[in-house]
Structure 1
Amino acid sequence: MSTSAITASGLTKHYGDKRAVDGLDLDIPIGEVFALLGPNGAGKSTTVEILEGFRKRTAGDVRVLGVDPQHADRRFRERIGVMLQSTSDRAMLSAREALTHAARLYAHPRDVDETLEAVGLTDKAGAKPQTLSGGQRRRLDVALAVIGRPELLFLDEPTTGFDPEARRQFWGLIEGLRGDGTTILLTTHYLDEAEYLADRIGIIANGKMIALDTPKALRALNQESTVSWIENGEHRTESTVAPTALVVEIAQRLGGEIPRLSVVHASLEDVYLELIHEQNGKSDA
C-alpha cells in the first residue's frame, strides 16, 4: 500500500499560451498537514482543483489516495473533504439541518452535534447561513467538509474573515484532525497559519514549485537578523548574519547597556517574499 496520500509528477495545466501549472512535482505522505502558498495567480487553486478532480490537467501523472482524480468515482468523493473559498449558500437549511443532510451521504459520518461543537457553532445550530457572520459561515463550511470523516481534507483559504480568536479555535480543530490521522492540504495567505499548522510548506509561483520544506528549514534560507538600537540619540539599524558579534561590538563601543536594543531574526514571511521576488525577477528577465 502506498504511503502517499497525494503524488503528482510533471503536473501541467495550459490555458492557451499560459501555463497556469508548469511541470509541478508533489508528494504528500498520509497524515501530513501540507500548506501550499503563493501569490494570487500563482497556480495554487488550479493545482488543488486538479487534485480534487474538479479540473482536468493538460499533462502529468496524478494519484490521490491511489486514484487518478480525473476519473474519480463516488467512492473517491466519499474519501475526501473539500472546503472551497466561497461560503455555504444552503440558505433554506439551518446549520444543523445542512450538516444532517450532508451526513446522510456518507457511510460513517461524524456526529452532527459533536461537529457543531468542534467548529464553535453549537449556539448557532438553528441559524441559517444568511444570519451568520462571515467567519461563522466559514466554520460551517469546515463542518460540511469534515462531516464525512474524510481521509484527505482540502482547505482553501479556510480562515478568511475569522477574527484572531476564531483563527486560533480553527487551528485547534486542525490539530485534532491531524491527531485522527487525516491528511490535510491547506492553502492560505496567512504565513503564521502555515507555520503553525503545517508539517511542510510548498511555495508556488508562476506555476512552478520554487521551495518545499519544513517551516524551520525554509526560515533558515535567510540567515540575516536585524539589529536596532539607539546611539548618540539616533536610531540605528543594521542587518547581519552574526547578530551576537554585532551586539558585543556595540556594547563595547557604548561601554555597557545598549539603549532600545532589539534583535529580529528573519521570519517565514521574509523568506517567502524574497523567494517570490526572485522568481518574479527571473520571469521578467
Structure 2
Amino acid sequence: MRLIKYIVLHCTATPHNTSIDSIMNYWRTVLGWKNPGYHYMIKADGEIVNTFPIEQVSNGVAGYNANSIHISYIGGIDEKGKAVDNRTPQQIVAQIRLLKELKAKFPAAEIKGHRDFPNVKKECPCFDVKTWLRTISLLIALCVSLTACKVSQNRQLNKSSSITSEMSTATTDHMAETVRETEARHTSNRSELNGATIYNFNGKVNADGSIEGSASQINTSSQKNASTSSQIKTKVQIRTITKTLLVRAIIKETHIITQTVVKTVTKTFIPWWVWLAGLAAVAVSLFFDPTRLFVKLKNLIKWQKN
C-alpha cells in the first residue's frame, strides 16, 4: 500500500443529477486520462461509489496524487454554473462516514480541500474544509454536552429514587416497630370504649357509659389523628429535602460540563452560523436515545482528534 499523506475533498462541478458514467467518460474521451480523477464519488442521495482502488494513483491534484486519496461529491455549481456548496444532507453524512473510515486506516493523513493546495485556482470543493471540520467538532461538543447532561440527570434521578425509597422504607419500618412495641406492652389488657383505647384498665364501667378506675394509657381519636398528621408531615419534609439535593447536584454537574464545552469551542474564532447550526444539532439530538448517541459521538471524536 502506498503512503497516504492527504485525504482530499472535491466537487464534480456538475449538476446533482449527473451520472458517474458520464463523468468518467469525459475524463477518458475529452481529457485523455487513463485513470479516474477520484477514488470515491458521492451521489445526491448519499450513496458512496468506489470508482477506483485506493491502492492506485488517481488524477485529483497535480503533483500530489502519489500520496492522496480523492473524494468528490456530485454537485458544486448552481443553475448558472456558479460555484456553490450545494451538498445535500445525505452527502454530508456520507462524507463524514467515509472520512471516519479512511482516518481509521490512515490516521496520519491530513484532510484538505482541492483549493487548499499550492497553485490551485479552482473553487473546488466550494466550501472551506478547515471551517467545516471545526463546525463538526463544535456540533460534537454541543451534542456530547447535552447527552452528558441527560445521562447525568437520569443517573441522579435513579439515585434520588433509591434514596427516597430507602428513606421511606426506613421511616415506615421505624413507625411500624414503634407501634409493635407499644402494642406488645399493652396487648395483655386493652379495651375499646367510647372511641378511646384503654390499656391496663382497673375499675368499672357505669350504666351511663362512664368509667371509674385507673389505666396505664388512654388514646383518644384526636390523638390518633395528630399522630397520623405528624407522620405525613415528616414524609413531606423528607421528599422536599431529597428533591432539593437532587436539583443542586444536577445544576453543579451541568455547570462543570458547560464550562468545559465553552473552553473547547472558544479556542478559535467561530462564525455566527456555526453557533446556529450547533443549536439546531442540540434540538435534533433531543429526539435520540442519549446513551446510543453518546457512543456514536465518541467514535466521531476519535477520528477528529487524530
TM-score of the two chains, using structure 1 as the length reference: 0.27
Bigger helix fraction = 2
Bigger strand fraction = 1
Structure of greater Rg: 2
